[in-house]
């Protein structure tokens, strides 16, 4: 069930995509990013996650955005500022990471990476800013947009670690259940082909107008919705599309979604959650947190 929200960046203009996104809250955009660099980023995530697992002795499938970076001999694969990755090693080595970052003190190893995000090549950021996605964001909001590096994530998922998958939720609900704070936009970027052999997303492809309840007896902060409420209201219209590397799903923060995974899936999926917020409605709970805040400029040819 796509209900007219599947579009193609090769054929549909940013204005058309923004219009559908404004109407429905969700768009599956085919060919939004170049396939080969996306696959290279996916391989980097796999290698960096493997190194992190070896250091920590456990699976950690929620990583900062720079975990899409790793040495690459191909000079055509470049970062946010156009720099090559030919002499870059990997984010773990560059940071000086030790297991103490994970097990001691604040016990959030990602903080250092959030605060030093601008020091990394940031291949995925580079792909995004050189695509039509920023124009879509600007046309949707009719103003400039800001990315919070802390609120972007790199993840991987497999059938054997289903317990680490996310059930139904609306983005930002962990930080605030005030509808006024759900002003942002997520671009979900799979870094491989997924939806058949590898996990993807299941979504109710329409923006609703409220923040759904948490399970009975749960107090906040809490990200996840009550599953039975979602199934009762939207179960017959849930959609789990297939993706090719280069496709993205763009949705606002009222759209309900979860990891789509079945026991028969045999491959791992790597993905990025990239989030932007309109400058005039930047949530206070995001602004008050740590990390790099960066403007995502529209192209010089974007309509005003």
The CATH number of the domain holding residue 50 is 2.60.120.620
Does residue 1 sit within a domain? no
**Residue 3, pLDDT score:** 65
Would you say residue 301 has pLDDT above 70? no
Does residue 144 sit within a domain? yes
Percent of the chain with pLDDT over 70: 96
The CA distance from 220 to 176, in Å, is 9
Contact 187, 133 (CB under 8 A): yes
Would you say residue 1 has pLDDT above 60? no
Does residue 304 sit within a domain? no
Percent of the chain with pLDDT over 90: 80
Q: What is the pLDDT of residues 135-153, one digit of tens each?
A: 999 999 999 999 999 999 9
Q: Which two tokens stand for residue 165?
A: 């998958």
Q: What is the pLDDT of residues 3-38, one digit of tens each?
A: 689 999 999 999 999 999 999 999 999 999 999 999
- Per the structure, the count of domains in the chain is 1
Does residue 16 sit within a domain? yes
Q: Within 13 A of 74's CA, how many CA atoms are on the CB side?
A: 12
Closest residue by Cα to residue 225 from 177, 154, 286:
177
Contact 203, 290 (CB under 8 A): no
Does residue 133 sit within a domain? yes
Q: What is the pLDDT of residues 73-103, one digit of tens each?
A: 999 999 999 999 999 999 999 999 999 999 9
pTM attached to this predicted model: 0.95
More confident residue, 3 or 218: 218
Range of the domain at 65: 6-296
Does residue 303 sit within a domain? no
Closest residue by Cα to residue 195 from 267, 243, 251:
243
């Amino acid at each position: 069930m796509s209900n007219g929200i599947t579009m193609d960046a090769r054929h549909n203009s940013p204005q058309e995509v923004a219009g559908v996104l404004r109407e429905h809250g969700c768009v599956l955009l085919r060919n939004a990013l170049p396939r080969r660099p996306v696959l290279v980023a996916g391989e980097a995530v796999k290698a960096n996650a493997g190194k992190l697992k070896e250091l920590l002795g456990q699976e950690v499938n929620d990583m900062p955005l720079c975990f899409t970076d790793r040495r690459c001999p191909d000079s055509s694969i470049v970062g946010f500022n156009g720099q090559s990755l030919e002499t870059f090693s990997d984010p773990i080595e560059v940071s000086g990471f030790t297991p103490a970052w994970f097990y001691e003190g604040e016990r959030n190893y990602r903080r250092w990476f959030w605060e030093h995000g601008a020091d990394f090549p940031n291949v995925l950021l580079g792909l995004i800013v050189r695509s039509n996605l920023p124009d879509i964001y600007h046309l949707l909001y009719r103003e400039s947009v800001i990315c919070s590096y802390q609120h972007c994530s790199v993840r991987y998922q497999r059938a054997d670690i289903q317990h680490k998958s996310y059930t139904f939720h609306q983005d930002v609900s962990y930080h605030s259940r005030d509808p006024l704070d759900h002003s942002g936009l997520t671009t979900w970027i799979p870094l491989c082909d997924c939806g058949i052999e590898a996990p993807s997303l299941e979504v109710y492809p329409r923006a609703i107008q409220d923040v759904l309840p948490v399970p009975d007896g749960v107090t906040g902060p809490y990200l996840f919705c009550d599953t039975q409420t979602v199934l009762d209201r939207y179960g017959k219209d849930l959609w789990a599309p297939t993706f090719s590397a280069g496709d993205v799903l763009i949705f606002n923060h009222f759209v309900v979604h979860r990891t789509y995974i079945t026991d028969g899936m045999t491959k791992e999926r790597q993905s990025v959650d990239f989030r932007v917020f309109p400058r005039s409605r930047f949530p206070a709970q995001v602004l008050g947190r740590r990390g790099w805040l960066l403007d995502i400029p529209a192209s010089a040819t974007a309509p005003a």
